[in-house]
Structure 1
């Protein structure tokens, strides 16, 4: 019965595109009404915070006593003389960098600072996101990946935001293999995954579209479910689309236990929605077979959709 109600793979992929990128092919806002394949950002502005970082850079430069060149020269002398690097000095430096050469100096200062403070973690300032935003602004993703994977800086990028910004940067530039390496590094360093992590991870695997990336996506999803984590809808969409591209239709259907309802609603297949819910409620299942469970949010969405429609039953 479920198989009969399931749309074709082509229709499913179209619906998934609508779910992941609202407004595509529909009546969404102008900013979303763009052709398929156009550049899209997986992270929101409140995570990347690039504008805030740029505004802060202007403020730091304006309030700097003396010139940038003098500040850079003083830090170079500190490195040469093996003097202690202060937290405030590194923060200021990261806000003053405007070129690749400046970032090279910042990298040397980061190595020194981390060596001096690697055992101090409680309440410490998180430099990782700051450095990633700098690399984001200057298109220096190679430098970001280099430091992220350097074992000498283990613990410096201990937050999920740093990894998310870097993966987003690489994703936008189409460097999906490098993005996957960053994801693996994040897992190896035991950094906690967030909602943004799963969206980025599954999107990267979807873009790679290989048996290996499908295996990684499936493993991450299963581990998340075992931990009791609720995966975001966008992440599930990427996982389903990847499964379909890999001709793993059965696994796509399993992944879509709840997403199935959303897909049919997006396609205005309300008769099928009701039939699926009816089978889930009235189905004559063994007590040893777990029934399908639909979230409260989805139930409310179904009710709203039915109220808006002219469908009668």
Structure 2
């Protein structure tokens, strides 16, 4: 196939050629795949009548080989124009770039996606999660401005923003010394009963020195039926931030005593979690809905493995 692609300018790459090579190649063959994609995409488009969609399958190949540079290179190649115009392809590429800390590139790919509006969708929900995660990880003034502009655009078009995206934007605002924006972002959620939400809210209120408003949030965890059996608790760094503000003596004696009792109860019920708010927000999404698998979208994985054991994390169904 290398000889065929490199030396025969009149040769044609057919659907089965590319399909077989994508599923049989090894890591060192990704350049060959790239050349085949460009030939396949440029040659006599009117002569191709197959309905096989290569974009997600090819991008899963790059993800499998953990090669973000090659994936981005072929994605940006003008000779591969329209080859990757599927929402799933963008999501897989953004995930791979995010995994390798290429946050600027995540934003660039997202910008292309919003400009093209594939399938008439300007802000795909999963892509919004990834770009918000990239901005959160960058944690710079520029990334905060980018995320804030995106947030405003999402609200202006009535976008149903997923809780994960809201939490990441709220966390970025908190890190950028804008706890008031954190609270405003969290207020858009219909439910405040999720662990990331009440941790962010408590941390933001602590930064605003509104300690009396934090006590009901802490108490609600203890008042819940069997709270230790739920997805509940406060991270160590959030509790430490609250304690630091309490030690400044801004609470009256009655409220300070109540806080100490609540803190003791949280500790006894093991609701002070040995983790950080950052780790909570950046926890990998494991859940995969097995009822919505398309043979086309999973074809690359089917070739690579005969078993599909997808881990499930409680609570991810509610993310949507």
Structure 2: distance between partners of 1:255 and 1:248: 11
Normalization by structure 1: what TM-score? 0.57
Aligned to 1:84: 12
Residues 225-265 of structure 1 deviation map (CA, whole Å, 9 limit, x = unaligned): 23222111111110001111112222222211144833675
What are the residue-to-residue correspondences of 1:234-249 with 2, within 5 Å? 234-249=164-179
Q: What's the offset of the Cα at 1:125? A: 2.3
TM-aligned CA distance change 1:119 to 1:247, over 3 Å:
farther
Structure 2: distance between partners of 1:170 and 1:232: 21
Q: What's the offset of the Cα at 1:93? A: 1.1
Residues 123-152 of structure 1 deviation map (CA, whole Å, 9 limit, x = unaligned): 832211111111112222111111212233
TM-aligned CA distance change 1:118 to 1:221, over 3 Å:
farther
Aligned to 1:261: 192
Aligned to 2:233: none
What are the residue-to-residue correspondences of 1:128-147 with 2, within 5 Å? 128-147=55-74
What are the residue-to-residue correspondences of 1:6-85 with 2, within 5 Å? 72=1, 75-76=4-5, 80-85=8-13
Unaligned runs of 5+ in 2: 203-211, 228-320
Structure 2: distance between partners of 1:204 and 1:96: 32
Q: What's the offset of the Cα at 1:83? A: 2.5
Q: Are the equivalent residues in 1 in contact too, given 2:90–2:109 (CA < 8 A)?
A: yes
Q: What's the offset of the Cα at 1:267? A: 9.1
Residues 5-47 of structure 1 deviation map (CA, whole Å, 9 limit, x = unaligned): xxxxxxxxxxxxxxxxxxxxxxxxxxxxxxxxxxxxxxxxxxx
Aligned to 1:288: none
Q: Does residue 1:158 correspond to 2:89, yes or no?
A: no
Structure 1: distance between partners of 2:116 and 2:201: 44
**Whose RCO is larger (CA < 8 A, sep 6+)?**
1
Secondary structure, aligned partner of 1:185: helix
Aligned to 2:101: 174
Aligned to 1:96: 24
Question: What is the root-mean-square deviation in Å for CA atoms of aligned residues?
Answer: 3.6
Structure 2: distance between partners of 1:268 and 1:215: 21
1:217 to 117, 141, 147: 147
Unaligned runs of 5+ in 1: 1-71, 277-301
Q: How many residues align?
A: 211
Structure 2: distance between partners of 1:105 and 1:267: 47
Q: Does residue 1:199 correspond to 2:199, yes or no?
A: no
Structure 1: distance between partners of 2:100 and 2:128: 19
Structure 2: distance between partners of 1:159 and 1:179: 16
Structure 1: distance between partners of 2:140 and 2:160: 25
